[in-house]
């Protein structure tokens, strides 16, 4: 049998070629299913946001200055005993009572002094009689000396007796006056009208000279010793109106009476004394708050919408020269319908208004519309 090997070899090479082509097609199909990767952003690129801004401007804004302090008497009068060593037999006033000037508060035992006064009344009467006798003798001596019946020496003796009697009467009257004054002092009277805030005497007590028996708030007038930061102290003037508020007794009106010239070196606080228009339920020693109407003051203002609160503290986003934002803390000084006066800013700076709530520190922004600054004249017209 004759076999043609040439044909068989050609068939085998053709089959191998088919297999290679099939594998190549499968590889190409697999490559076609893979998606191309997205290009990564260039390093340092930051997404931007369009915001509206406002310019920090100076305006005259009604300022309210808040302060806290302690209620104290306008004048506290100490009532003491002018005479001592006597027993209090009656006490006619109590703490919290309003008294009038001259009203008897305490009566001391005056039995001994009354007896001394009666004795001295008798001494005065005796001295007065002696003086009358001496004056009558002097007159007779003058008549006799004028007629030549009495020497000059006898006349001088009569004159000396008359002068001695007059001096004795004056001494007796002075001694009586002292006793009468001490007797009057046994009735301890209110030196001023006002509210009694302390009583230090009881019935039956032996009162010594100068001992305190009562304390009186003169004319029942109270004031608030308001502590003011030194930065606001120069804005406050006597006569400015104020509201005094207590969580316990409510609210009353008042007026700044005086601003003390000293600032505490440790706390940097000054003192403004605010006179209360009425006592109401306020009492000395109470804690209270004051809101002082300091009038229109030039202040740096921004829109209310630009203020954000972080950690319960106010602040704004300020735009720098590269249009990047930075959060800055501020202190709110006063508020109006749509503006806020604040410290911590500089006139002419740009603050973010709309879109501030979506920003983070250092974000780049695009500036859209600018919020117009309200002029002082426009604000006054409102």
Q: Which residues contact 287 (CB under 8 A, 6 or more apart)?
A: 68, 69, 70, 71, 246
pLDDT digits (tens, 9 = 90+) for 40-53: 444 443 547 888 89
Q: Which long-range contacts (CB under 8 A, 24 or more apart) does 254-257 make?
A: 254/223, 254/224, 254/290, 256/292, 257/223
Structure-block tokens of residue 50: 């369009």
Greater confidence (23 vs 97) lies with 97
Coil, strand or helix at 373: coil
262-288 pLDDT tens trace: 999 899 999 999 999 988 889 999 999
Q: Domain 110-184 classified CATH 2.60.40?
A: no
Query: Which CATH class for the 46-71+221-382 domain?
Result: mainly beta
C-alpha–C-alpha distance, residues 332 and 15, integer Å: 90
Residues 6+ apart with CB under 8 A from 221: 73, 74, 75, 194, 275, 276
Among 167, 76, 75, 77, which residue's Cα sits nearest to residue 130? 167
Mean pLDDT of 127-133: 94
Both tokens assigned to 81:
């005993």
Distance CA(226)–CA(273), nearest Å, equals 6
Sequence spans of domains, the chain: 46-71+221-382, 75-109+186-220, 110-184
DSSP label of 306:
G
pLDDT-derived band at 333, boundaries 50, 70, 90: confident
Q: Using 50, 70 and 90 to split pLDDT, how confident is the model at 369?
A: low
Structure letter (DSSP) for residue 74: S
Position 202 scores a pLDDT of: 95
Residues with Cβ within 8 Å of 240's Cβ and at least 6 positions away in sequence, in order, are: 255, 256, 292, 293, 294, 295
Residue with tokens 């520190």, as numbered in its chain:
361
CATH number of 75-109+186-220: 2.40.50.100
Q: How confident is the model at residue 371 (pLDDT cuts 50, 70, 90)?
A: low
Cβ neighbors of 128 (< 8 A, separation 6 or more) are: 169
Residue 325 and residue 318 in contact, taking contact as beta carbons nearer than 8 Å: yes
The first and second tokens of residue 334, run together, are 């006063």
pTM of the model: 0.62
Rounded Cα gap, residues 77 and 83, in angstroms: 18
Largest pairwise CA distance in the chain: 220
Say yes or no to pLDDT of 32 above 50: no
Asked whether 59 and 301 are in contact (CB, 8 A), the reply is yes
Cβ atoms < 10 Å from Cβ of 116: 18
Q: Are 238 and 256 in contact (CB under 8 A)?
A: yes
Q: Of 203, 214, 5, give the one whose Cα is nearest residue 98.
A: 214
Determine the Cα–Cα distance for residues 207 and 260; give it in Å rounded to an integer: 38
Backbone angles phi and psi of 110, in degrees to 5 = -115, 15
Percent of the chain with pLDDT strictly greater than 90: 57
């Amino acid at each position: 049998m004759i076999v043609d090997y040439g044909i068989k070899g050609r068939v085998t090479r053709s089959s191998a070629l088919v297999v290679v082509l099939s594998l190549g097609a499968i590889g190409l199909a697999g490559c076609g299913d893979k998606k191309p990767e997205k290009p990564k952003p260039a390093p340092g690129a930051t997404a931007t946001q369009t915001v509206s801004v406002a310019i920090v401007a100076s305006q005259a804004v009604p300022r309210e200055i808040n302060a806290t302090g302690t209620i104290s008497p306008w004048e506290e009068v100490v009532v003491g005993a002018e005479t001592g060593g006597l027993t209090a037999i009656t006490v006619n006033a109590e703490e919290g009572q309003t008294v009038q000037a001259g009203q008897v508060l305490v009566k001391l035992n005056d039995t001994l002094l009354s007896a001394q006064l009666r004795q001295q009344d008798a001494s005065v009467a005796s001295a007065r009689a002696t003086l009358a006798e001496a004056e009558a003798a002097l007159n007779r001596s003058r008549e006799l000396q004028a007629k030549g019946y009495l020497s000059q020496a006898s006349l001088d003796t009569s004159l000396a007796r008359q002068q001695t009697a007059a001096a004795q009467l004056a001494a007796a009257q002075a001694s009586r006056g002292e006793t009468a004054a001490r007797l009057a002092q046994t009735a301890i009277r209110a030196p001023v009208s006002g509210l009694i805030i302390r009583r230090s005497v009881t019935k039956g007590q032996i009162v010594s000279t100068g001992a305190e028996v009562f304390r009186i708030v003169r004319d029942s007038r109270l004031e608030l010793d308001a502590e003011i930061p030194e930065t606001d102290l120069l804005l406050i003037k006597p006569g400015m109106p104020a509201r005094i508020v207590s969580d316990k007794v409510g609210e009353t009106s008042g007026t700044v009476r005086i601003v003390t010239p000293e600032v505490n070196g440790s706390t940097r606080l000054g003192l403004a004394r605010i006179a209360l228009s009425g006592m109401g339920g306020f009492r000395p020693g109470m804690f209270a708050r004051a809101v002082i109407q300091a009038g229109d003051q030039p202040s740096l203002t921004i829109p209310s919408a630009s203020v954000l609160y972080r950690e319960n503290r106010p602040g704004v986003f300020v735009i720098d020269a590269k249009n990047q934002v930075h959060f800055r803390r501020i202190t709110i000084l006063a508020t109006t319908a749509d503006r806020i006066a604040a410290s911590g800013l500089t006139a002419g700076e740009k603050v973010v208004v709309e879109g501030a709530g979506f920003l983070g520190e250092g974000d780049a922004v695009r500036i859209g519309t600018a919020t117009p600054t309200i002029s002082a004249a426009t604000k006054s017209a409102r």
